[in-house]
Amino acid sequence: MGVDLEQILRPIDSPLAPYPPKFMTVASGETLVIRQVDRDEIPTLLLHVEPLLHVERDFYDVVAARVYAELLAHYRYRMQDEYVLVGQIGGHLAAIVNGRTVSPRQGMSLHTLALRRGLRIGAHCFAAKMEYHIDILGQDEVLIVAESPIGFRRWMIEYQLEKRFETPHELGGVPSYCLTRALFDRARSSLVVGRRPVPPELLAQAQAGILPPTDPPRPPADLLAATRAMYDSTGTALLLQRGRQELEAGHA
């Protein structure tokens, strides 16, 4: 009985061509490898996404919460046709991107999370995700939204995405933007970089295990910094802290 119900609950993934890994040199001179991860690597990613739930800056909290749910659902077979790519430097996790296939012709971009800042690693991994949808899966378009101003600059403005406001995006039902094949072709020479094949020793290092990010975004270390968030509508750390204090005072 239990087994039968699991068969109903578990979506059947469409067979999707894998993403061929690539590598590139980033602004620091280090080498970034972008590759698709297997389902059994997801628990390791969850370990590194979880701390970002507490980073309000640049909407890491909202994006991390959603990425956590999407990765967990993928791991436990509760999400259909999802793929996950990672960016690694020296084996260390530098970015996570994911998305899914809606139909053979349409892709849905889910999230981009940079765990190493300031090197456009998020932008490179987003470009890899678009490359996957358009070039590898042969889709005509990808639906995209931004949850942060940096995301809006990186995707909507840099790629000059088209509005598809009549189509709600899976992320919160907000109006979608769209990357078409024509837009991707226009961006190809400037925004999409990387070489193939990845040298075997470099790929082996990346596949050997996902090492922790070297300098991930962290929540503010002091209360003064948290107080600044009071004037920010996203100041959830302060609100949570205040709630805890009020609760404690009530019990005193």
Ligand X SMILES: CC(C)(COP(=O)(O)OP(=O)(O)OC[C@H]1O[C@@H](n2cnc3c(N)ncnc32)[C@H](O)[C@@H]1OP(=O)(O)O)[C@@H](O)C(=O)NCCC(=O)NCCS
Residues that bind ligand X (CB under 6 A): 58-60, 63, 111-114, 117-118, 120-123, 146-148, 150-151, 153-154
DSSP one-letter string for 191-233: H---BSSPPHHHHHHHHT--BPPSS-----SSHHHHHHGGGST
Is the CB of 6 or the CB of 232 nearer to ligand X? 232
Question: What's the closest the beta carbon of residue 174 comes to ligand X, in angstroms?
Answer: 11
Is the CB of 72 or the CB of 77 nearer to ligand X? 72
Question: What's the closest the beta carbon of residue 43 comes to ligand X, in angstroms?
Answer: 21
Q: Is the dihedral of CA 148, 64, 244, 220 positive or negative?
A: negative
91 is written with which tokens? 């084996």
Give the pairing of strands 141-144 and 106-114. Answer: parallel
Question: What's the closest the beta carbon of residue 57 comes to ligand X, in angstroms?
Answer: 8
Question: What's the closest the beta carbon of residue 104 comes to ligand X, in angstroms?
Answer: 25
Give the pairing of strands 92-103 and 22-25. Answer: unpaired
Is the CB of 27 or the CB of 208 nearer to ligand X? 27
Q: Which ranges constitute the DSSP H helices of the chain?
A: 2-9, 42-49, 60-75, 121-131, 149-151, 181-191, 200-207, 223-228, 236-251
Is the CB of 77 or the CB of 193 nearer to ligand X? 193
Question: What's the closest the beta carbon of residue 138 comes to ligand X, in angstroms?
Answer: 25
Is the CB of 120 or the CB of 164 nearer to ligand X? 120
Q: Is the dihedral of CA 128, 129, 134, 136 positive or negative?
A: positive
Q: Which residue is nearest to ligand X (CB)?
A: 122
Question: What's the closest the beta carbon of residue 151 comes to ligand X, in angstroms?
Answer: 3
Is the CB of 150 or the CB of 226 nearer to ligand X? 150
160 is written with which tokens? 């000059």
